[in-house]
Amino acid sequence: MKKITFVTTNKGKISTAKQYLGDANIEVEPYNYELIEPRTDDIQEIARQKVLQAYEVVKQPCIALDSGFYIEALNGFPRAFVNFALDTIGTQGILDLMKGKENRNCSFKECVAYYDGKEIKYFFYEHKGILAEEYRGEDRKQQWSPLWHIYKDKFDLSKTLSELSEEEMTQRRKVTGSSLKEFADWYKNN
């Protein structure tokens, strides 16, 4: 079985990585370390800087992941500044900004960066969906962000990610893509 080190403090990202990579028979070795996140709205650049930091900490091939949340009606806000938006206005503030807006299209964009000490490889994916009208659902162990309570994925537009059952989340993982899935497909063959 192949292994990969994933440096992050986000338990939801670790849980999701274990599921996607486990499906490809790749073991995730979590390394709990707070990486410094650069101030840019370019998720590839953030992932690049994080994986370089991570490599300096663990001194072995590793991955880092960054994502952004993009709301069409708000000109892409909050983009890669998700944590700042959540810390300042929160999910309710985002819903308030969307009051009266018909276009509720939004997406999560992800970038996994892999670094082996010589070369960085990038893997991307975009999850398209719509913004819910209200905060819904329960916290989940694989939840990356409170945005799961207001985001409805193309997998099932009637429920937020937080409202999906474990079985539905497993089915969603099998039929939708992910930057982690893209990485797993590449890594198991290299």
Catalogue the active-site residues: 66
List % helix, strand, coil for the chain (3-state, nearest 5). 40, 25, 35
Cα separation, 123 vs 119, in Å, equals 13
Sign, CA dihedral 135-153-46-79, equals negative
Structure tokens at 37: 């996140």
> 167 Cβ partners below 8 Å, 6+ apart?
none
For residue 158, give the 3-state DSSP assignment: coil
> 174 Cβ partners below 8 Å, 6+ apart?
none
Rg (CA), the chain: 16
Residue that the structure tokens 């670094």 belong to:
115
